[in-house]
Chain A
Amino acid sequence: MSTDLLVEPSRQSAGQRALTTFLRSRELSIAIVLVLIVIAATLKRHTFVFSHDGWRDTLLTPSILLLLAVGQMVVIVTRNVDLSVGSVLGITAYATGKIFIANPDTPVVLVFAAGLLIGAVLGAMNGFLVAFFRVPALVVTLGTMYAFRGYLTHQAGSKRIVAGDIPANFEKLGTQQLLTVPVLTLIGLAVLAVVGYYLHTARGGRELYAIGSDPDAAHLYGLNVGRRVFGAFVLSGALAGLAGVFSVARYATAFAGTGRDLELQAVAAVVIGGVAIFGGSGTVWGAAIGAFLLVTINRALPILGISDFWQGAVVGGLIIGAIVLDRVLSLRRAHQLIEARDVTEEEG
């Protein structure tokens, strides 16, 4: 648009640039931490990864938080937040159980579709309130978090969906593996890939980033902010719904408290993954690695000799560390840009 460029176009080849971007990426640092933790835990106890159950759990346990983190990331990147995901997960988990009680022969695909649909409807409620009434998402989703949880408690009471209510083929799905990779994790990764590709390349995805960077500017530029934000909440709700179905498949139980406190974990995973809480930057890959890291660290700490009572403290320290790191990195980047500008001005 302007010939007066702030920074010269790179002279490096595309391959080199991709490599530097990768090496300098925020996601890589988190991934390295994750790998180090897995290695340390495995050195201490080989079964952490190198056993049938260990390998399965390493991949399977994070799959639920992975879905929530992907949905949450899409919402956070638009400078909103969805605190209701834990309650949405609880509702769909309980609904899944109810469907099986009503008709144990329900095809599994239908159950997944139902979970997605229920989640999407609940997400649409959030999205409608946030996007069309222009009210702060934090307040609205805090409200719907209470309302959905209250509704679930009203329906479920002290009743529980137990393993006996769940047909065997669905329960087996929770631990089923394909080429040693659990099916649920595969679905989670597929969702991650689709959402990641969409955010990275599609027009709609880029618009989400633009909205998060500056909602007013995005509006003036002509983007339909309301529609995109609505879409982000529907996606977040749908993925939370899917996570509810996962939760039943994995744990074969659902009750009034299912998914409680998961909303803050999902936000934490996103923050650890390097997504700015004020929107506009970060990747869904980072959020996914953040989710894996959060769950893995909980499993690894007892093995590393840290009593599990201190796990919460470690996780909290990790979140603080991640945001401080982001701050340092962004300050450095700002300095580099200022230097680049000064150099250009001196030359010009």
Chain B
Amino acid sequence: MATTDALEPATTRRGYPSYSRNVVQRLLLNREAAVIAALVVVYVYSLVSVDFFDGPLTTYNILKEYSPILLMALPMTLIIITGEIDLSVASTLGVSAAFCGVLVKEHGVDLTTAMVLTLVLGIVLGAVNGFLVAYVGLPSLAVTIGTLALYRGLAEGLIQTDRIAGFDPKWQDWPTERIGGTNVPQIVIPVAILAVVFFVLLHFTSFGRGVYEIGLSPEAAHFSGVNVARTKFLLFVMSGLIASLAGLYVMLRADSAATDTGIGFELKVIASVLLGGVSIFGGRGALHGVIAGVLLIAVLNSALLLSNQGSEVIQIIIGLLLVASVISSSFLSRFRELLPRRTASTNQVSGQKSRKAPQ
């Protein structure tokens, strides 16, 4: 955690020099810690006061339902930290499920081969986004709204009216089987491995440093030797690959691929990433916060469903949490300016905010 705090930008709008505060404050007074604390509070509260929340199915269902969101949130975190966005993930997920289903059911391809081909498709779809954003220089918001429609359209074109169902049970059961006697489905194994991979990639490699630098200032990153275009390109490729992996999982879990598979997931993913403390302006955020953000939404959802609240309540809560999270950071930064600092001379950075990215 100390590493991520050290990366905290000194020049963003929420900017304050990290080391003007002591180590306890640095570890506890940040967005990630706040999200994790909220997660723990909600979880403990639900265990105590929501009936059946401590039952054996809760953990299992949470992990089963939210694995795709968690998967897609990993590369999305890195993309948003560079100041870009990928709205097309849910459509990539949908078209991957459709593509794999069509290969297996209409062309008689072996399921394992079809899954490998689908992952290749994911890479290609991500590369299209990455090429347009990184090398053509188009705004990612506009590009991925386009590919959101395009990829969803491809899924619809591939499947047409059919719903493809009935896959090889060997593969179909694997992701949702429990690990040993625990309540953890096996899909968590690849999710956990990927989470560690992305955590290391973002926080402990020069590539990850480059991701933060790009988010803070693309020009400065370029001049300090970061290959901005290649980094962004690779991130979008990763996003496509992971989204198609999530698509395969969703397809196997539901034992079907339909035109609306995964529809609307993109906003859920982005909502969890932003809730996890990643700044939409780029340059700030950490992966453990994002994972806590996804789990927070998952636990809230599960607890509310168990207390007989409809799914609309969770929507309202996600919405309010999102708004509250951005407002609180705007408030916090003003509040912190009033706090005593270690060194007075480093206080001068939080004046004019730099509005580099739109929205």
Residue ID in chain B nearest A156 by CB atoms: B312
Give Cα A216 to B356, complex, Å. Answer: 10
Contact of A153 among B150, B151, B311 (CB under 8 A): B311
Question: Which of A38-46, A48-56, A112-120, A264-272 interfaces with chain B?
Answer: A264-272
B320 touches A147 (CB 8 A): yes
* Interface residue? A129 (CB, 8 A): yes
Q: Does B146 contact A (CB under 8 A)?
A: yes
> Could you tell me the distance in whole angstroms from the C-beta of B160 to the nearest C-beta in chain A?
5
Are A137 and B359 in contact (CB-based, < 8 A)?
A: yes
Interface size on B, residues (CB 8 A): 59
B323 in the interface (beta carbon within 8 A) = yes
Residues of chain B with a CB closer than 8 A to A80's CB:
358-359
Contacts of B316 in A (CB 8 A): 146-147, 150-151, 154
Q: Is the CB of B353 within 8 A of A134?
A: yes
A79 near B315 with CB under 8 A, answer: no
**Measured between C-beta atoms, what is the minimum distance from B13 to chain A in Å?**
8
Bound form: Cα–Cα A277–B138 in Å: 10
Q: Does B170 contact A (CB under 8 A)?
A: no
Bound Cα distance A150, B301 (Å): 13
Among A59-67, A100-108, A238-246, A307-315, the stretch in contact with B:
A307-315
B-side contacts of A81, CB under 8 Å: 141, 358-359
Question: Provided the pairs A135-B330, A136-B280, A310-B157 are in contact, do residues A327 and B136 lie with their beta carbons within 8 angstroms?
Answer: yes
Interface assignment of A323: CB less than 8 Å from any CB of chain B: yes
Q: Please encode chain B, from 299 to 324, with 1 for each CB lying within 8 Å of some chain A CB and 0 for all others.
A: 00000000000111111111111110
User: What 1/0 mask marks residues of chain A from 133 to 145 whose CB sits below 8 Å from any chain B CB?
Assistant: 1111111101111
Q: Are A139 and B319 in contact (CB under 8 A)?
A: no
Q: Report the minimal beta-carbon distance from A87 to chain B, rounded to whole angstroms.
A: 9
* A320: B residues at CB distance < 8 A: 132, 143, 146-147, 150
Contact (A139, B330) CB under 8 Å given A311-B153, A323-B146: no
- Besides the known contacts A80-B359, A143-B319, A150-B313, 18 further A-B residue pairs in the complex with CB atoms under 8 A apart: A81-B141, A133-B330, A136-B359, A139-B280, A140-B326, A142-B267, A142-B270, A142-B322, A144-B319, A147-B323, A148-B319, A150-B315, A278-B139, A313-B149, A313-B150, A316-B149, A323-B139, A323-B146
Interface residues of B (CB under 8 A from A): 13, 85, 87, 132, 136-139, 141-143, 145-154, 156-157, 159-161, 259, 264, 267, 270-271, 274, 280-281, 310-323, 325-327, 330-331, 352-355, 358-359
* Subset of 28 A-B contacts with CB under 8 Å: A81-B358, A135-B330, A138-B85, A138-B280, A138-B359, A139-B322, A142-B270, A143-B318, A143-B326, A145-B319, A146-B319, A149-B312, A149-B315, A149-B319, A151-B316, A256-B312, A271-B146, A277-B139, A310-B153, A312-B150, A312-B152, A312-B153, A312-B154, A313-B153, A315-B150, A319-B142, A319-B150, A323-B138
